[in-house]
Structure 1
Amino acid sequence: MARPRRSDHNRQPLLEAGISLLSEQGYHGTGLKQILDRVKIPKGSFYHYFDSKEQFAAEVISHYIDQYLQQLKQATDLPERAPMDRLLAAIDLSLARLEQEGLTKGCMLGNLTAEIGGQSELCTQVMLQGWTLWQGWLTQQFEEAQQRKEVRQDLTAEQMARLFWDRWQGGLLHVKLKGSTEELRNDMELMLKVILR
């Protein structure tokens, strides 16, 4: 996505600032000046890396997805760990991240999907790629769990992955409203230990 450049010195800080600002304020609430002030670079440096705010947002989304999936795999993909334990570890990792950020941001991917999904073709394409990667990881866990007879057999792994994801995204809205992860943690554990077994 990014144009090749001789130096990527400021690119990484811009992407990190983008994750923070877009998570806190959304796409429309984040201005170019705020981004530049956060990283303390001139406007010309921004356009050295990105053609537009839209392209910047798309690359921030892609960076956010890559970061999250890398952390997820490091935390969960141990060969000796059962798939249901991997899913519980994914919940723990995600809730710990939310708690570190003060519970007000939610999932940047979910927030931006609600805000600009379908409005920006470029951003929508990147968000769909992120959903596909995350759903693929979830489906893989449920497929393995079905092979081990740890979850119900009357639904497909894809259906269970979608149920899991949809409940998770809905629960994130409650976390933002209530300022607590306890209900979401309990509901996700209930889904894994009772509803999908």
Structure 2
Amino acid sequence: MNSERPDTRQHILTCGQQLIAAKGFVGVGLAEILASASVPKGSFYHYFASKEAFGAALLDNYFADYLSRVDALLGRSDLSGAQRLLTYFQRWIETQCGEDSAQKCLIVKLGAEISDLSESMRSSMLAGTESILRQLADCIAAGQADGSIGSTQDPAEAAQWLYQAWLGASLLTKLRRDCSSLDAALSGTRAHLKLN
């Protein structure tokens, strides 16, 4: 029985993430999560004390996966710091402009919705975004060191500026239903970092 628990818990999280990425946290009821995961209510409550606890676990799971992928990309030694950043942001454009809602950024989808709704979910999201900022700052510092990034701005400040710009562009992309804001964010990134 114990060997099945992590798989069942992960299955519930995966099914829930797909629904929430498409409809938002408030827009998805517990019954819909249970039906999607094909588990009874008792199984859900075995792993999660509440829907809010489920939401915090979902965000922790999302960030663990996302940060692992970002680390693999931004940590590549065969590319310059600038090339790694550009690859990261190109991937951002592809996922935000793609049709698969499960691939889209949960921070963009849920940030405003849950920040005033749940302290535990807000804390999970904040911790995840701070980890992303550290990874971006490390990549910017590497690009400054290898000469591919001409900006001398503090890497942490540059990462903050970039991340805010890309989150804002992603929100505008949802409103406009086109990629023009993300294309502009990419141009702004190149100019801001003085990419060589």
- For the criterion TM > 0.5, the same-fold answer is yes
SS in 2 for 1:8: helix
Unaligned runs of at least 5 residues, structure 2 = none
Give the match for residue 162 of structure 1: 160
Instruction: Report the CA distance between 1:86 and its aligned residue.
Output: 0.7
Whichever residue aligns with residue 92 of structure 2, its letter is S
Question: 1:183 and 1:132 mapped to 2: Cα distance?
Answer: 23
Classify 1:60/1:139 alpha carbon distance in 2 versus 1 (closer, same or farther; 3 Å): same
Q: How do 1:15-94 residues align onto structure 2 when only pairs under 5 Å count?
A: 15-94=13-92
Q: Which moved more, 1:96-105 or 1:141-150?
A: 96-105
Q: Which moved more, 1:142-151 or 1:62-71?
A: 142-151
Q: 2:121 aligns with which of 96, 120, 123?
A: 123
Classify 1:12/1:100 alpha carbon distance in 2 versus 1 (closer, same or farther; 3 Å): farther
Number of equivalenced pairs: 191
Asked whether the equivalents of residues 81 and 144 of structure 2 are also in contact (C-alpha less than 8 Å), the reply is no
2:150 paired with 1:151:
yes
Whichever residue aligns with residue 42 of structure 2, its letter is G
Give the match for residue 141 of structure 1: 139
Instruction: Report the CA distance between 1:116 and its aligned residue.
Output: 1.4
Instruction: Report the CA distance between 1:145 and its aligned residue.
Output: 2.0
Classify 1:105/1:178 alpha carbon distance in 2 versus 1 (closer, same or farther; 3 Å): farther
Question: 2:103 and 2:85 mapped to 1: Cα distance?
Answer: 22
After superposition, the C-alpha distances for 1:114-161 in whole angstroms (9 at most, x for unaligned) are: 1111431211111111011000011111112222342311x2111111
Q: How do 1:165-180 residues align onto structure 2 when only pairs under 5 Å count?
A: 165-180=163-178
Instruction: Report the CA distance between 1:85 and its aligned residue.
Output: 0.7
Whichever residue aligns with residue 108 of structure 1, its letter is L
Asked whether the equivalents of residues 59 and 124 of structure 2 are also in contact (C-alpha less than 8 Å), the reply is yes
Q: Percent identity?
A: 27
Please list every run of at least 4 consecutive aligned residues from structure 1 whose deviation after the TM superposition is greater than 6 angstroms.
none
Q: 2:93 aligns with which of 89, 92, 95?
A: 95
Give the match for residue 193 of structure 1: 190
Q: Which moved more, 1:158-167 or 1:142-151?
A: 142-151
Question: 1:109 and 1:174 mapped to 2: Cα distance?
Answer: 14
Asked whether the equivalents of residues 16 and 36 of structure 2 are also in contact (C-alpha less than 8 Å), the reply is no
